[in-house]
Amino acid sequence: MPKRIAIIAHDGKKAELVEWARRERERLARHHLVATATTGRTLQEALGLEVACVRSGPQGGDAQIAAMVVEGRIDAVIFLVDPLYAHPHEPDIRTVMRLCNVHNVPLATNLATASMVLRGLEEG
């Protein structure tokens, strides 16, 4: 059964995300993907994946995904945060992470964990 996976990647992590998504393309294609605008377009262009896009992170996309988590419309979140860069929308980033914990939604913040979450969704 397809799951709903939200994907967010800061600019410094998009290239890594694309390489990971190439390896995991078959698995990702079996699920419903939602992403912030630039991340979603990047995945669509690089891999031809179908991705529903919300706004970009700084324009409220992180908050939109957080709301979807609260509403039970997301089964897992892959959120590749660039830890070496200060983000002006840091409160939204923390909100997504906090709400994943509050609502028991798996949250991957690095690619090793993202692969484990993706495999776990298929087994569950």
Distance CA 61, CA 109 (A): 17
Model confidence pLDDT, tens digit, residues 53-88: 999 988 999 999 999 999 999 999 999 988 766 666
* Class of residue 89 by CB neighbours under 10 A (exposed 0-12, middle 13-18, buried 19+): middle
Distance CA 57, CA 54 (A): 9
| pLDDT for the residue numbered 84 | 67
Cβ atoms of 57 and 96 within 8 Å: the answer is no
62 is catalytic: yes
pLDDT band at 91 (very low <50, low <70, confident <90, very high): confident
Cβ atoms of 115 and 24 within 8 Å: the answer is yes
Q: Whole-prediction pTM value? A: 0.94
Q: Which of 11, 62, 75, 92 is catalytic?
A: 62
